[in-house]
Structure formats: structure tokens, C-alpha cells
């Protein structure tokens, strides 16, 4: 069974949650098409500059609306010029003349829209059946109040979403998968503590050399990891805020990652954050993708792995995922994760 290009039973897309799907700076005067959850979405701004997200397929003949243009806050199809307002209504059918809308010719041409918000420079999409009251967009305490000393970048992994999140929660791979870039970092993860509060996973620990002695409170690389389920995480090393990442499924086998570094240093903080993100996405993250893409099985399978104490954060995430992906009762219909236009 398929719905909007998504094959039921594959991908394990967690519904009822906000996901970062893009850097808001990417959506300017022109529309942008992104693929998320196995569906092509078009992002554009209305006449007030507010973000709009809709299915990218034009209801008329299926053209990609992201190849079109925005005219007076409406999105115009590049193929036949049909225009759609921010609420999804078709407001112009050039080939049928000016009176087409009044004659009801557009009644069956509404776009399928999605709940979307712009917050802290990110595009957030609510994936799942819309509840009576939407939950607030998640965020982290302790981050700088603005993005003056921050830089944002995006990348895609040829890795399923659950595997990507395993990589994000994995700390003890650091001295091996990234050996050239983290010289001197020990391999022993001790101390290490994982705590779960609602849909938030807190993990704190130290990577240090195994000298046979208890940790003295000083030696080693200290880190703090916070994950807001399903795909938003913040990682810091020492007293410096490293940054955050938002992950979302592109489809059943690929994951989109939007990352940001914060370096609240006057004058040069933004430049250093840009350099940090460049190193992260060009040198560090490709190693993670390579390891995850080469792992067997390709999809996350807890029964196929033998976990150790250092994997506690990963297991906590999978426990949440399993709870959220419980199958509906037999015969119970699954609604589309969208709001009709």
C-alpha cells in the first residue's frame, strides 16, 4: 500500500512531530522544491513573506511547482501558468480565461498544504495528522538568543533516517572514524550517563585514555548531547557550544541534515562558525555517512546488533521510536499526514 509516494511499512517515519526540513535562508523570492518523507514539497513565501509549504505536484498535470515563480504571493506553475494562493486555492487558469474561477473551474484544483513554521532561521514542518492544537516548535535552552555568530549548512546522507540518528547519538566512534581530526582523544567512554525526560534524551560523558584510574574530573574530552525526539539534537564539547542539527527523512533510504555552529565570539564568531561548519560537513560528517552506509543491515535492526553500555543513548532513541511506530488497530484507517487545501 502506498500513499503520496510512501510505501507503508517502510521508512519508519515518525508522525506527530516537528522536523527541520531546510535552512529558511534558502527560501527567498523564488520557490524551492525539497523532498521529505518520500514526497516532493514546494516552499515559497506569500505576499507577507510568510512561509508556505505544499505538495510540489501541480494538481493540473503534475508539473513541479518549484520550477515556477511567485507572483503577488501566489505560486505560478511553470508549465501552464495556473496560480495557487497560500491557502491552496487555485486563483488563475489562464487557458480558461478570466471568468474560469467564478465558473467553478478551479474547485478540484486545490493544493495539498502542510503545516510549516519559520523559527530561528529554520523551516519546520509538522509531519502527521494535525491535532486540534499543534505542539510548540521544539528548541534548546542555553543557545545564543540570535544567529549573529552562527552559520548554517545542509547536506544529504544516503542513509535511512534511523541509521542517521544512530550516528548522531554515537560518541565513542570519534577516536576511530575521525582519527585524523581528533588526535589525542581517548577511546574510553567513562563516565557516561543517559537520562530520558519525556521526549528528550540527555547524554553526558567523557572520552579519555584508559589508564586504569578513576576519572579525576579534569582529564578527557567532556561532551553533552541533548536530543529532542525524533530528529533535533544539540552537541557541545567542554564549555563551548558546538551547535545543533536537524534531521528529517528524504525517503525510506536517505536523510537530510541541516546543521548549525554557534561561536559567540565578537567580530569573528560568524567567520569561525562558517569555518567550523565547512570542516564538519567536508571532513567529519562524510566519515560518519560512509560508516553508516556500509553497515549491515542497511535499515536499523536492533535484533541484528549486540549493543554495549556506550550505546545507551541510541537504545533510548530506538525505544521512543518503537513506541511511536506502533501499528494502528486492524481495520483502522491511516489518515494522510497533510492538511487538504
- The pLDDT tens digits of the residues spanning 239-293 come to 665 799 999 999 999 999 999 999 888 889 899 999 989 988 888 899 999 999 9
Q: What is the mean pLDDT of residues 212-218?
A: 90
Residue 336 has pLDDT above 70, yes or no: no
Q: What is the mean pLDDT of residues 153-174?
A: 96
- Cβ atoms of 68 and 80 within 8 Å: the answer is no
Distance CA 183, CA 174 (A): 10
How far apart, in Å, are the Cα atoms of 177 and each of 46, 284, 288, 297, 309?
Answer: 45, 9, 7, 19, 19
pLDDT of 145 = 86
Q: Which domains does the chain have, with CATH numbers?
A: 13-127 (2.102.10.10), 150-324 (3.90.380.10)
- The pLDDT tens digits of the residues spanning 109-156 come to 999 999 999 999 999 999 998 899 999 999 998 888 889 999 999 999
Q: What's the whole-number average pLDDT of the chain?
A: 89
DSSP secondary structure of 92-156: E-GGG-TTTTTTTTTTT-PPPEE-EEEETTEEEEEESSPPSSPPPPP--TTS-SSSTTEEEEEEE
Q: What is the mean pLDDT of residues 16-36?
A: 97
Amino acid at each position: 500500500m502506498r500513499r503520496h509516494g510512501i510505501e507503508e511499512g517502510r521508512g519508519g517515519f515518525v508522525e506527530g512531530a516537528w522536523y527541520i526540513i531546510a535552512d529558511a535562508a534558502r527560501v527567498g523570492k523564488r520557490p524551492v522544491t525539497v523532498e521529505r518523507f518520500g514526497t516532493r514539497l514546494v516552499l515559497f513565501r506569500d505576499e507577507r513573506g510568510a512561509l508556505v509549504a505544499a505538495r510540489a505536484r501541480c494538481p493540473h498535470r503534475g508539473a513541479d511547482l518549484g520550477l515556477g515563480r511567485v507572483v503577488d504571493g501566489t505560486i505560478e506553475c511553470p508549465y501552464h501558468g495556473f496560480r495557487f494562493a497560500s491557502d491552496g486555492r487555485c486563483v488563475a487558469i489562464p487557458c480558461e480565461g478570466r471568468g474560469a474561477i467564478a465558473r467553478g473551474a478551479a474547485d478540484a484544483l486545490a493544493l495539498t498544504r502542510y503545516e510549516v513554521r519559520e523559527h530561528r532561521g529554520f523551516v519546520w514542518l509538522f509531519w502527521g495528522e494535525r491535532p486540534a492544537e499543534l505542539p510548540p516548535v521544539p528548541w534548546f535552552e542555553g543557545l545564543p538568543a540570535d544567529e549573529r555568530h552562527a552559520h548554517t549548512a545542509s547536506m544529504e546522507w544516503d542513509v535511512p533516517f534511523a541509521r542517521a540518528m544512530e550516528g548522531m547519538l554515537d560518541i565513542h566512534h570519534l577516536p576511530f572514524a575521525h582519527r585524523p581530526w581528533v588526535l589525542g582523544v581517548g577511546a574510553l567512554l567513562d563516565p557516561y550517563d543517559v537520562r530520558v525526560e519525556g521526549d528528550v534524551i540527555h547524554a553526558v560523558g567523557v572520552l579519555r585514555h584508559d589508564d586504569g584510574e578513576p576519572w579525576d574530573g579534569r582529564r578527557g574530552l567532556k561532551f553533552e548531547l541533548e536530543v529532542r525526539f525524533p530528529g533535533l539534537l544539540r552537541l557541545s564539547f567542554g564549555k563551548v557550544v558546538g551547535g545543533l542539527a536537524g534531521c528529517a527523512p528524504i525517503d525510506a533510504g536517505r536523510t537530510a541534515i541541516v546543521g548549525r555552529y554557534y561561536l559567540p565570539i565578537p567580530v569573528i564568531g560568524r567567520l569561525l562558525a562558517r569555518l567550523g561548519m565547512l570542516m564538519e560537513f567536508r571532513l567529519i560528517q562524510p566519515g560518519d555517512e560512509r560508516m553508516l552506509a556500509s553497515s549491515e543491515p542497511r535499515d536499523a535492526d536492533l535484533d541484528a546488533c549486540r549493543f554495549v553500555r556506550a550505546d545507551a543513548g541510541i537504545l533510548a532513541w530506538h525505544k521512543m521510536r518503537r513506541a511511536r511506530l506502533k501499528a494502528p488497530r486492524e481495520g483502522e484507517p491511516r489518515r494522510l499526514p497533510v492538511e487538504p487545501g
